[in-house]
Amino acid sequence: MSPESRSALSVQFDLRPAKQVERRMLLDAFQRLAQAGFQIRDYRYVGFGSIHFVDFIIFHKLLGIGDMLSIEHDADLEGRVRFNSPFECIKIKMDSSTNVIPTLNRDDRHILWLDYDGPVSRSILEDVYMAGSQLSRGSILLVTVDVEPPSPEDEGPRRSMEYFEEEAGEYVGVHDVQDFSVSKLHKTSQLVIVNALKEGMAGRRGTHLYPLFYFVYADGRRMMTVGGVIGSTTEQRVLNSMNVVGATYLRRRLGGKPYEIKVPVFTRKERHLLDSAMPCKDDWQPEGFAIPAGDVSAYREVYRFLPAYAELLL
């Protein structure tokens, strides 16, 4: 069984708060893109639904996307995948992403989310390269990878550097061993993914990546998502007209700091109080007890996107 399959069976995907915040921020961004002129409803969503299909449910119900493809490569889970598929409009392809990406129709616009559980690898970069050469202009590409040390942390950054040199090769570029320290692995992972994408687009005159997303978050392991619109100056003009007021999570240029999704822990009662004060001033504090200022600030950033969980007794 693959690492991705083990993750699907060990993690309740719809109960990961930081991941859910990321999904809802993506949803917010896609709605803004639709308002700017991108016909998101007519896009084809391609992702890894597994047995949970969380992204598919959100994007179908709240964006109206009716053409969806789930890539599933683990034959052991095929029965459960097909049973759990929530909508008739979701087509399931039992194959590897490496085989499916080259078959995507170049005349259609896609949202392709390559949502991996593992660190950057040769096969992941091959997928990214092919996405760069295959996706039509106006398509949106998202790539998520694990940015924990690929080797045991006590082996240090040099061992991580050796791993990246072996798996990413020429995409690593000029580097220093400190680029592979734990605190910088998200930046190095972003770099090699973007380099692989640019290499895939190299033969397409006038086609570029227009960045939109660079998330770092953790529901246990530390993850990173990078992505944006593949397009020409035509798409760039539409992007420049997008309403970005309040979208502090957007990252419109490469090389900057990621948007770090932090979900502070509060009780349900505390969240009701916090929500009643949102969006609060910088120095706001509740009466009767104190909350660390950093937690209040972090909550203000995510409260619109953070789901509320409750137990339902049937």
307/173 same-domain check: no
* Same domain assignment for residues 256 and 299: no
Please write the tens of the pLDDT for every residue from 17-76.
999 999 999 999 999 999 999 999 999 999 999 999 999 999 999 999 999 999 999 999
Going by C-alpha positions, the residue among 22, 28, 16, 27 that lies closest to residue 52 is 16
Q: Model-level pTM greater than 0.95?
A: no
- The answer on 56 and 40 residing in a single domain is yes
CATH number at residue 214: 3.40.50.150
Average pLDDT over residues 166-175: 90
> Six-digit token pair at 4?
């991705």
Residues 277 and 192 in one domain: no
pLDDT of residue 154 exceeding 80, the answer is no
User: Is residue 56 located within the same domain as residue 166?
Assistant: yes
Assess whether 141 and 168 both reside in one domain: yes
Q: How many domains does the chain have?
A: 2
Residue-wise pLDDT tens digits, 235-279 = 999 999 999 999 999 999 998 999 999 999 999 999 999 999 999
- Rounded mean pLDDT of 179-186? 94
Contact 74, 2 (CB under 8 A): yes
Pairing, β 208-219 against β 221-231: antiparallel
Query: In this structure, are 85 and 189 located in the same domain?
Result: yes
Do residues 59 and 127 both lie within one domain? yes
Same domain, 225 and 295: no
- Rounded to the nearest angstrom, the gap between the alpha carbon of residue 50 and the centroid of all alpha carbons in its chain is 16
Give the chain's radius of gyration (CA, Å): 20
Give the least confident one: 19-33, 136-150, 174-188, 199-213: 174-188
Tokens of 118: 């593992």
Structure tokens belonging to residue 168? 């990413």
Range of the domain at 312: 264-314
